[in-house]
Structure 1
Amino acid sequence: MSRRAGAGREDVGTSFLLVPGAGGRAWYWHRLVPELERRGHRAVAVDLPAGDDAAGLEAYAAVATAALDALVAGGDGADGDAVVVGQSMGGLTAPLVAARRPVRLLVLLNAMVPRPGETGGEWWDAVGQAAARDDLARSQERAVDADPDADFSHDVPPEVWAAGAEHAFAQSGTPFTEPWPLATWPDVPTRVLAGRDDRFFPPALQRRVARERLGLEVGEVPGGHLCALSRPEALAAALDGLVAQTSSRHADRT
């Protein structure tokens, strides 16, 4: 495995668990994984049971946690050094993983930030997502009733977006009906990243929600809602930078 120079030691790259949004497709991350590997990291993207109406948040968390366990078991890094990244709807699942296992960092990327007891279905009105999307469209002189797919894919290369059709899963509504189960946010360093061109979760919305719900500021990365598909190099560089800025829990204990 690739190694990176650490402070006074030879350091292995960080292990990333990549949790996708609605549809649960590991494929969403396929352009980011090689960029992280090129920087000396390990990365595994997880397929969630998005098409299973019997699967709720517990099932999503169990699948993602198992993937994290396998990732850590197969690596050279210290226990607790993994980074969990949740994109969009993955913001419901990623914190559940971080609450179950020691991790170095939790990253929310254009993500839903739930409150305890709030359902995913309630989140949209609670944060004012539709109004924020419409306000951004008006400010950019775009139609407010545009096809939502355009808000997802407007900056994704057409050939990449077309290739995704064969990997598409239907998204069950079951996880959106369940109250988010944690009583508090997990005690894990958390960072929030917003695509500066996100039309679906506009950056202004993400900044407000992150401040109100987590007391955190938002870092911006190039690209829209699906920036792992549209700007994988820039996203990998941003994630690499977050790792460099964040001390591992293992290092803190030693």
Structure 2
Amino acid sequence: MATYVLVPGADGTAWYWHLVAPLLRAEGHEVVTLDLPSHDTANLDEFAEAIAAAVHAAVPDAAAPGAPLVLVAQSLGGFSAPLVCGKLPVDRLVLVNAMVPSPGESAGEWWGNVGQAEAREAYAAALGRTGADAEFDPRTDFFHDVPAALTEEAFASEPAGPPPGVFAQPWPLPAWPDVPTRFLQGRGDRFFPLEFQRRLARERLGLDVEELPGGHLVALSHPRELADALLRSA
């Protein structure tokens, strides 16, 4: 059986994975989730240390040969999860609606470098959203396909969001880790549209995107489908 390490995106909370984790555990797998550091001076290196520490605490023999270690990264987690590959014997890396960095590129620079704003606006127009309706709104861009009760639960507490250092630190690796990587993408993602992600995955990783139903928050809108896709990584 595998050990799945589920890394959250910009909200930085384990809660994002609370529907997917039990589905993986029900199949006999170990699952590690965590809240990422939220203090102002935290950066990508500290995120990677926190992820590795959470794995060691939950699965002390994770570094021993045996069950595969599958590292799963949502959205902004695409910047921090690859750094863990130098700290743990990661067997597979799975990106979910993720950002893909280039060496030396900060998460703050990424948006302009890849043309995310233009891609989001073009997709909004294709959906018939114009004017004020096309402006970014988390409920419209992130939670449009998430059940109402889960949406209200998410908005009941205001997460601190990622620390500034996470966006300022240049991505420190010289290249993408030499670890088998998959790229899962919600076909209805309004924030990182599917065709935008196809281009990014191809240009930066040489990978084809594997489509899933749902938008940016697939773990909340389609947990069963995402869990099934992750199980295929084991």
TM over 0.5: yes
Unaligned runs of 5+ in 1: 1-12, 244-254
The answer on 1:155 being equivalent to 2:145 is: yes
Q: In the comparison of the two structures, how many residue pairs are matched? A: 230
The answer on 1:83 being equivalent to 2:83 is: no
- For 1:133, the aligned partner's letter is R
- 1:25–1:167 contact (8 Å) kept in structure 2: no
State the Cα distance separating 1:75 from its structure 2 match.
6.8
CA distance in 1 between counterparts of 2:15 and 2:110 reads: 26
Identity of aligned residues (%): 50
Q: Which residue of 1 aligns with 2:113?
A: 126
State the Cα distance separating 1:149 from its structure 2 match.
3.3
- For 1:173, the aligned partner's letter is P
CA distance in 1 between counterparts of 2:4 and 2:188 reads: 24
CA distance in 2 between counterparts of 1:219 and 1:184 reads: 22
Once the two structures are superposed, what CA deviation does each residue of 1:152-178 show, in whole Å capped at 9, x if it has no partner?
A: 111111101111234542122221011
CA distance in 2 between counterparts of 1:77 and 1:154 reads: 42
CA distance in 1 between counterparts of 2:156 and 2:220 reads: 15
State the Cα distance separating 1:42 from its structure 2 match.
1.7
CA distance in 2 between counterparts of 1:116 and 1:21 reads: 20
- 1:110–1:195 contact (8 Å) kept in structure 2: yes
CA distance in 2 between counterparts of 1:187 and 1:146 reads: 36
Selected match of 1:59 from 28, 46, 65:
46
Q: Which residue of 2 aligns with 1:165?
A: 155
Q: Which residue of 2 aligns with 1:175?
A: 166
Q: Which residue of 2 aligns with 1:26?
A: 14
- 1:155–1:230 contact (8 Å) kept in structure 2: yes
- For 2:150, the aligned partner's letter is V
The answer on 1:212 being equivalent to 2:220 is: no
- For 2:193, the aligned partner's letter is P
CA distance in 2 between counterparts of 1:77 and 1:109 reads: 26
CA distance in 1 between counterparts of 2:233 and 2:67 reads: 16
Selected match of 2:186 from 180, 195, 201:
195
Alpha-carbon RMSD across the aligned residues, in angstroms, is: 1.7
Unaligned runs of 5+ in 2: none
Normalized against structure 1, the TM-score is what? Answer: 0.86
- 1:222–1:234 contact (8 Å) kept in structure 2: yes
Q: Which residue of 2 aligns with 1:39?
A: 27
Question: Could you say what secondary structure the match of 1:99 adopts?
Answer: coil
The answer on 1:16 being equivalent to 2:4 is: yes
Normalized against structure 2, the TM-score is what? Answer: 0.93
- For 1:30, the aligned partner's letter is H
Selected match of 2:96 from 93, 109, 125:
109
CA distance in 2 between counterparts of 1:77 and 1:28 reads: 28
CA distance in 2 between counterparts of 1:237 and 1:201 reads: 22
Once the two structures are superposed, what CA deviation does each residue of 1:62-113 show, in whole Å capped at 9, x if it has no partner?
A: 1011112234326798457110000000111110112221111000100110
Alignment CA distance shift 1:181-1:151 (3 Å): same
